[in-house]
Structure 1
Amino acid sequence: MSTYRWEKSSYSASSSNCVNIAAAEDGTMRLRESDDPSTVLAVRPGALRALIGAAKAELLPTSGW
């Protein structure tokens, strides 16, 4: 497994409960939850932009997960 330079959002403050993001050599982004750092998801930048855009526009369900 590659070593990634993980970053967290400035909105996370000092809390350890946050999502970390890193850029991978293959052009994808890596995401992980700080509570479970061994689980890493790979996502293409365009898909991540779409997800963040939908969240900002409040288009994602807030219950039923």
Structure 2
Amino acid sequence: MEGESAEASSSSWVVDMERLLEHTDPSAEMVRWTKASIYRVPERIKHQTNRDAYRPLLFKFVVI
């Protein structure tokens, strides 16, 4: 019985997400994905530790 409740809850979540995705604007989504983005570490933290630890080593470029 408990497993069925968790499964129904999971299924409901998936259905909710699919409904949200149906109403997204593909062109707005493309704009979001084409902008370069990297999480910014606050300068004060960089100075407290090894600065190189926060330098990206791998970049991924997607060409569409």
Q: Do Structure 1 and Structure 2 share a fold, with TM-score over 0.5?
A: no
More strand by share: 1
Tell me which of the two structures has the higher relative contact order, counting C-alpha pairs closer than 8 angstroms and 6 or more residues apart: 1
Q: Which has the larger radius of gyration?
A: 2
TM normalised by structure 1 equals 0.27
